[in-house]
Amino acid sequence: MGQIVFIPRELDPNEPRVAASPETVKRLAGLGFDVIVEKGAGLGSRIPDQDFAAVGAAIGKATDASKADVVLKVRRPTDAELKGYKSGAAVIAIMDPYGNDAAVAAMAKAGITAFSMEFMPRITRAQVMDVLSSQANLAGYQAVIDAAAEYDRALPMMMTAAGTVPAAKTFIMGVGVAGLQAIATARRLGAVVTATDVRPAVKEQVQSLGAKFLAVEDEEFKAAETAGGYAKEMSKEYQAKQAALTAEHIAKQDIVITTALIPGRPAPKLVSAAMVASMKPGSVIVDLAVERGGNVEGAVPGRVVTTENGVKIVGHLNVPGRVAASASLLYAKNLYAFLETMVDKTTKTLAIKRDDELVKATMLTDAGQVVHPAFAKAGEEPRTEPAAIPATTLVADAADAKPAAKKKAAAKPKGTA
């Protein structure tokens, strides 16, 4: 009997995704693993048990996790799940460790070797393992679909004998993977799209998709990207100038989609209550960062809120899970590609190379210890996340800056749209 890979049914009622597909189960068997899939694990992603069984998986129960050498999951294991894992098992999932030091410490105590897929380095060999990109891509698509569902008008311009329907004006804030897909989807649906980001490299990408770029293009903007391709946190002064530039723009928009996240920190506040109040009745805002504190004041996790002036703020949780059938197929391939790098092809057994750059970047716990440097003191000194700069502060700063801009033309925020 070979080593066992276990695919559980996710316990979170808001998580319909699954960590395997019939294709990846077949390929795992080809690597030499015996695969057990918990009964009903794939139902939320339109994968019935018989589809897994048809490619060689055994359909089991939750207690089968105790036999597994490898556990593939979507979400971080709960304390109850950890009690059912054998010591030394490799557990690969989206661990969401920031702000969850107690959970990281619990994984170390359980003796598992835990890998956090969202820490996968953005290098060429790891592109196929990049869960942030695969899931954000679908989140950006679904954000536009959700916005269109809440917006009670057509998105494209329509010229008819009875008159012309104007195209919806859509503004994308944050042009990472999710933002780029949101731009592409909104454009395909016929909306007029503008977008903003603090990273200068995305300007050409935005324009290549047929959207217009809006940003304060000063010296800080030119250096606003980390070596890993993520957005840096901008200074309060820059954020104030950007707020001044975008506040007027947002008031004219029909749909706003915010996607801004900073690794290890709460989501930055981009849209204040005052900006929301400036929008027309019937306008829609989709906050894709609501699970990390939100980019929009007034966004409520898991709810669609309608403000006093008739603006809908959409705060759906687990947006990739809203297209679970597609999201699971991509996520399963991400996991398989990573696990394959840790398999000895000769012995067909798990052989974790702890000096491999992918392993070092993603390994959270090992041999009873928290080994990732960002969480090394998780068990003794729980990490406190820094607070996000509130949008009310940014808008106040922006308002203070406007009179100066009138006195001196050079001080006016320079932007392109």
What is the residue extent of each domain of the chain? Answer: 4-129+323-375, 138-317+387-411
Task: Give the pLDDT confidence score for residue 381 in this predicted structure.
Answer: 53
Q: What is the pLDDT of residue 201?
A: 82
CATH classification of 4-129+323-375, choosing from 3.40.50.720, 3.40.50.2300, 3.30.70.1560, 3.90.550.10? 3.40.50.720
Query: Any bridge partners for residue 343, and if so which?
Result: 350
- If we measure between CA atoms, which residue out of 287, 217, 210, 275 comes closest to residue 249? 275
Q: Which of 9, 122, 188, 383 is catalytic?
A: 122
SS3 24: helix
Q: 416 exposed, middle or buried (CB, 10 Å; 0-12, 13-18, 19+)? A: middle
CA–CA gap between residue 316 and residue 300 (Å, rounded): 8
Identify the CATH class of 138-317+387-411.
Answer: alpha beta
Indicate if 130 belongs to the active site.
Answer: yes
- Choosing from 66, 87, 127, 208, which is the catalytic residue? 127
Out of 230, 265, 278, 383, the active site residue is: 230
What pTM was computed for the model?
A: 0.85
Per-residue model confidence as pLDDT tens for the chain (417 residues): 589 999 999 999 999 999 999 999 999 999 999 999 999 999 999 999 999 999 999 999 999 999 999 999 999 999 999 999 999 999 999 999 998 999 999 999 999 999 999 999 999 999 999 999 999 999 999 999 999 999 999 999 999 999 999 999 999 999 999 999 999 999 999 999 999 987 788 899 999 999 999 987 777 776 666 555 555 667 788 778 877 888 999 999 999 999 998 877 889 899 999 999 999 999 999 999 999 999 999 999 999 999 999 999 999 999 999 999 999 999 999 999 999 999 999 999 999 999 999 999 999 999 999 999 999 876 665 545 445 545 443 443 333 333 333 334 444 444 544
Phi-psi map region of 348: left, alpha, beta (phi>0 left; psi -120 to 50 alpha): left
The residue from 3, 21, 45, 133 that is catalytic is 133
Give the residue among 111, 134, 136, 125 at the shortest CA–CA distance from 364.
111
Catalytic residue among 130, 146, 197, 366: 130
Give the model's pLDDT for residue 237: 83
- Catalytic (active site) residue 199: no
Decide if 98 is catalytic.
no
pLDDT value at residue 232: 63
